[in-house]
A and B are shown apart, each in its own frame.
Chain A
Amino acid sequence: MARVSMKVDGVVYEDHVEPRTLLVHHLREKLGRVGTPVGCDTSNCGACILHVDGESVKSCSVLAVQADGADITTIQGLDGGEGTDGAWHPVQTAFQEHHGLQCGYCTPGMVMAAVDLLRTNPDPTEDEVRHGLEGNLCRCTGYVNIVKAVLSAASELRGQGAHRGSFQDAAPAQAQPAGARA
């Protein structure tokens, strides 16, 4: 057993762990921080992405002991998690506005990866967003709306305002016209 101390979403936790304990399992099973899910065993899917000292990391491929002393932010601690008065991070808002999630399993990792992407590249092209998220697999959305969401959040974070989402704040004037394009 090794002693580890880490700050998770603003709270410091000290625990004894087996050295082989994966960070994501430590968070989920010991600390009850279950917002970060696991989707694979080969570091391919990105469902488990969170931030270690501000950078995106696949938490299934880090040992809890390697995170000793680290400052960890999960989807639950991103602005919008508990303790932040429900204010959402612009990336979270954009994911809803652009329907960038369906089942939501990839979403925590997708959002955390996107936040990191925009930290390092505040004004990405569509192609840069797509490549920036190449370590995150989503089986539901086909990515189009995820890409839109990230581009919109980027614009908002640059102070240029979010892009209009797909959703309608008001009821449509008439039932959907035939032959609508999107």
Chain B
Amino acid sequence: MTEQMDAGFVAEQIAEHPEAVHKPYAGGELGRGRRRKEDAKLLTGQTNWTDNITLPGLLHMSVLRSPMAHARVLSVDVSPALEMPGVIAAYSGRDLADVQGSLPCAWPVTPEMVHPDHSPLAVDEVRYVGDGVAVVIARDRYAAADALEAIVVEYEQLPAVVDMEAALAEGAALVHSDKGTNACFTWPFAGGADYAETLAGHPDAVVVRRRFRQQRLLPSPMEPRSVVVAPIAAADDYTVYSSTQIPHILRVMLALVTGIGEHKIRVIAPDVGGGFGCKLNVYAEEVLALVVARKLGRPIKWTESRSEHYQATIHGRDQIQDIEIAATPEGTLLGLKVELLADMGAYLQLVTPGVPILGAFMFPAIYKMDAYSFTCTGVFTTKTPTDAYRGAGRPEATYAIERIMDELAAELGRDPMDLRKQNWIKHEEFPFEMVAGLTYDSGNYEAATELAEQMFDMTALRAEQAERRARQDPVQLGIGISTFTEMCGLAPSRVLGSLSYGAGGWEAAQIRMLPTGKVEVTSGATPHGQGHHTAWSQIVADALGVPFEDVEVITGDTDSSPKGMDTYGSRSLVVGGVAIHKATGKVIEKAKRVAAHLLEAAEGDVEFAGGTFTVKGSPEASLTIQQVALATFAAHNLPEGMEPTLDSDYVYDPENFSYPHGTHLCAVMIDTETGFTKIRKYVCVDDVGKIVNPVIVQGQIHGGLAQGIAQALYEEAVHDAEGNLITGSMVDYLIPSAADLPHFHTGRTETASTSNPLGVKGVGEAGTIASTPAVINAVVDALRPWGVDNIDMPATPERVWRAIHDDGTLRVPSGTVSYGGAQTAATSGGAA
């Protein structure tokens, strides 16, 4: 320590407790596979899930839900419930009509969009099975559950609206009768040349059409949703604990919905057990718990059961995609036409209408083409609302383009990878402005593909496929490709604005230098399994030159990390991580002033590296950043006029999306006698730019793959004609276990993003987006000798078997099959 420093009490203490003094920074923090800081509590059962929270006088809320998809609520009598033991209160929708407000939709995609009221408890009409009708507040969970049975509701059944196309037909029953239509919006979009004109200009164009269905999915994080509201009613002050991805947005929205001052609401997302988009929302139960806690002045807890989750938490996907692609006979893409129907469900949740719109930009994917035409119609049905589920719009788009590229290849008799290579953006062509208007900053599709093909051993697998076909083996092999990209890191605020989204896409960070040289970081990105605390620590350690262990990350509480846009859209690192990086820059800038002052050097002569300030030309004069922090805390000797703090914050608004990409290759074995599909080998090479922690990145890819494969082979939310969800529990909604999934061979290439200083891209959704088409392409590839050119998801054994045996007899493979050789000359593929 230099003499100028007035050591003072804290310095003495530090000298006496050397363990509290920092260790020097060892370097190499970025890109290092650090063990996760999060794991200790998670592995020892000391996690703070919302449902673990208990408070003195805590009451439990239960929700009575509609057993009908669509009905008029004639009457709700909660009085018998009030007679039940342990029941404190019970309310119907009408009882709360004045205070419950309407749940928000922050994404009115068009000015004309039909935006129905969405009261947390239905008042006059229920519109999906699971729509809330009444709540009970009781002393414990069991009493609250029992009392639901006592509530008497009279319904008058109305027609269910289940099928999207039927819903749009003339004279269809209406979900919202006052709106006069089941169409929520129509959103047209085009890029490049006019699609019809382009086609007209190429009479020899090869055109392939398919109809793809994106089945409805149930997000199913393992932790069900849960809310606890702790009121100080006398002060109209509330702490809301919620198993949410978005504490910051939730706070704003709860204030707007209930009329409680935003400054009077503190939202905490404690440890959150997965979200995958479904906890990116503002839910009825969050509002109800708050409203009831306000009424009763007592803390309230609500935790959903899994079956409630399946009815009352948003669903994902659910689109019908009519896709048409046109190419020259030589295989050069001319244009793409996309017509979507997107099921909104009964109401609009936070970003329901925006999900398919996000996808609009991704259909052209990595391919160059002249013309692009897109239109999407949102449709109301009497089903649970849909909203963002891992990937949100982009998996749907990627599926469609990667599937239709295979169909085009088959039509042209081309190798599907060759066709892709012919049309993708070459490495040297970046940055590249896409037909959909986005500018991809960087990418190297060649490198990722080369590595993937090497790892996959494509040649050997193709040879085995040919053999199996030749000997008509009952077990056939199929190979599927997906050379995907995605846009992530939502998002430049101005872009969101241009798409009518209700908020910005910035992220906030704050760095606090503690007197002992330890560092506290607050981030507005709120984790739920992604390892933010570890990765953020690495970024900060690297930038400030402090040990990884000396950094503490604080998230998920609007009191301690007051500003934020939360976690979704693979945005945390690319936006939140960059915000942190920028905030460290401000800390260093301030510390440099102090260091220069203490070292009696000109600021311009002071250099900072590895956590130490040195003076150019006199290496012995140095101060560590921790010493500077202490001196700043003491504030005895600071530059004239300087605030005695190094603390800094930064709010970062990205200039562009980031565009991770990769090549996924999947080999499936299909038992043609039963239709059972098993993944034989799965290889993926992802390029997510610069990597902060490769182990965490790999984990994100693995988890994404599992969900994407699950969409391809296992999962589907099925409703009957009356609108009942018949996959209402984990018995029928099949989430694959370890025994059902293969090992994943992962590799990576690293093409830095040029749009942010860390060179990073997002990774949270890549696996989900890429894998679904890889698997289905493999299934269709295996079945192509039977003339199969499409299969609905999930490709269940029964669907696969029917695809082969649809007329009841086994068709024999045509024997000599090259790529797509079984395809006829017809230019348009049969719609499924």
Contact = CB atoms under 8 A, between A and B. Distances in A.
Interface of A: 18, 20-21, 25, 28-29, 32, 34-42, 44-45, 47, 74-76, 78, 80-82, 88, 92, 95-97, 99, 101-108, 111, 126, 129-131, 133-147, 165-168, 170-172, 175-176, 178-182
A161 B584 CA distance: 41
B748 A180 contact: yes
B221 A176 contact: no
Nearest to B275: A103
Contact of A105 (B38, B274, B276): B274
A37 B51 contact: yes
Given A37-B223, A42-B730, A139 B45 contact: no
B272 interface: yes
A144 B35 CA distance: 17
Interface stretch (B318-326, B617-625, B702-710): B702-710
A166 B730 CA distance: 32
Given A102-B531, A146-B738, A171-B32, A41 B305 contact: yes
A76 B743 contact: no
Given A136-B738, A165-B35, A175-B30, 14 more contacts: A34-B49, A41-B305, A96-B39, A99-B36, A99-B695, A102-B699, A140-B274, A141-B699, A141-B702, A144-B702, A166-B33, A166-B695, A178-B447, A178-B750
Nearest to B731: A42
B52 interface: yes
Nearest to B701: A142
A75 B40 CA distance: 12
A111 B44 CA distance: 10
B699 A145 contact: yes
B31 A88 contact: no
Interface size class of B (residues with CB under 8 A): 35 or more
Contacts of B276: 139
Contacts of B35: 96-97, 165, 167
A103 B223 contact: yes
Interface of B: 26-36, 38-47, 49, 51-52, 54, 140-142, 220-224, 271-274, 276, 305-307, 447, 451, 455, 528-531, 690-691, 694-696, 698-699, 702-707, 729-731, 735, 737-741, 743-751, 767
Contact of A80 (B43, B49, B745): B43
Contacts of A34: 45, 49, 51-52
Nearest to B30: A175
A141 B274 CA distance: 11
Nearest to B528: A103
A182 B455 contact: no
Contacts, number: 232
Contacts of B307: 41
B26 A133 contact: no
Contacts of A39: 222-224, 306
A147 B47 contact: no
Query: Which of A80, A103, A108, A167 has most B Cβ within 10 Å?
Result: A103
Nearest to A34: B52
A46 to B, nearest CB: 9
A143 B735 CA distance: 12
Contacts of B748: 176, 178-180, 182
Contacts of B703: 102, 139-142
Nearest to B692: A176
Nearest to B276: A139
Contacts of A104: 38-39, 41-43, 47, 271, 273, 529
20 contacts: A18-B142, A29-B140, A39-B222, A39-B306, A45-B730, A81-B44, A92-B43, A102-B274, A102-B699, A104-B39, A126-B743, A135-B737, A138-B222, A140-B703, A141-B706, A143-B741, A145-B702, A167-B33, A171-B26, A178-B447
Given A42-B730, A44-B731, A176 B691 contact: yes
Contacts of A102: 274, 529-531, 699, 703
A79 to B, nearest CB: 10
B736 to A, nearest CB: 8
Contacts of A141: 699, 702-703, 706
Nearest to A105: B273
B289 to A, nearest CB: 18
Contacts of B28: 170-172
Which of A40, A41, A45, A168 has the most chain B CB within a 10 Å cutoff? A40
Contact of B749 (A38, A111, A179): A179
A32 B46 CA distance: 11
B222 A99 contact: no
A35 B40 CA distance: 13
A108 B737 CA distance: 16
A42 B748 CA distance: 39
Contacts of B744: 142, 144
Max count, chain A CB within 10 A of own CB: residue among B307, B706, B729: B706
Contacts of A106: 222
- Residue among B35, B49, B273 with most chain A CB within 10 A: B273
B36 A96 contact: yes
Nearest to A143: B738
A96 B33 CA distance: 12
